[in-house]
Structure 1
């Protein structure tokens, strides 16, 4: 497995086609996808997109698993994204609903930011968040991100949260 990073509780690794069924658990859950901008993807197209990001940019969404038992918790990662006419590196996270409330998303987000800053030397990471999604806002702020502005992105009002490498 292509390990990206680890924490005390988490193993973050590159996605493979074997992750299809695990990803489908997220994409087929209306609660998990309620605030997702745009059409809800299916696991196959998401895997194709992610693997293409690995090929093109050597970054993308990564699988987050529990270190103790290897169970799939969700995904967190960074992807180049055109936002308001410029390319930014955006961090995203989507977790299995049954795992919400355990701090896994915040822990994974902090680990991915450390990897982005210290290993990849990316100077700035952003997240686009529908502010009605309090859980997502909480993950971003716990990871040290701050709201910079509000904007219209893909016909939705979102807030842009950002953090800069120290």
Structure 2
């Protein structure tokens, strides 16, 4: 559980673990265009099936110390606005630590992804969890690329197929962090 930010906070956000009670509010994410594709999920599945799969993957990560997405709660309203976290990923047979983020559509454009991603980056480097961090972003997800760039990352490489999708890998090294 060393990769989870449970109990952490930013200026506007609180981090907590994903709970089964979050299921209905999280289904809204899968109604948005291209979200399933951007998250590497099968877009032919129903919203319910996508959300169920998302929760199963999250539970698997939590149970196997592979990091995971933390629920982001807006402090001023108490509303769930998204998820963000540190994820252990294997990219080209190398284990790496990813900063991942997903924001519910009604909260897009408010800077929550950038704020959460920055907290994850700082937490990872402050706690010596990795010498570098990545974000794996579908090549068509320009908004998420902007978040990675704002988080101090630079394009490392493009992969024609990562889990069946074309992605860009963004990276920041700890030595370039501050």
TM-score for the superposition, normalised by structure 1: 0.89
Equivalent in the alignment of 2:170: 161
- Residue-pair matches, total: 165
Q: Please, which moves more after superposition, 116-125 or 146-155?
A: 116-125
Gaps of 5+ in 1: none
1:81 is displaced (CA, Å) by 1.4
The 2-side partners of 1:58 and 1:157 are apart by 23
TM-score for the superposition, normalised by structure 2: 0.83
The 1-side partners of 2:16 and 2:22 are apart by 11
Query: What's the C-alpha RMSD, in Å, of the aligned pairs?
Result: 1.9
Q: List per-residue Cα deviations over 1:131-153 (Å, max 9, x = no partner).
A: 33221011001111111111121
Q: Please, which moves more after superposition, 68-77 or 153-162?
A: 153-162
Gaps of 5+ in 2: 44-48
Q: List per-residue Cα deviations over 1:15-61 (Å, max 9, x = no partner).
A: 11111112211123225445332415622222222122112116211
Equivalent in the alignment of 2:136: 128
Equivalent in the alignment of 2:93: 85
The 1-side partners of 2:171 and 2:108 are apart by 23
Equivalent in the alignment of 1:151: 159
SS of residue in 2 equivalent to 1:57: coil
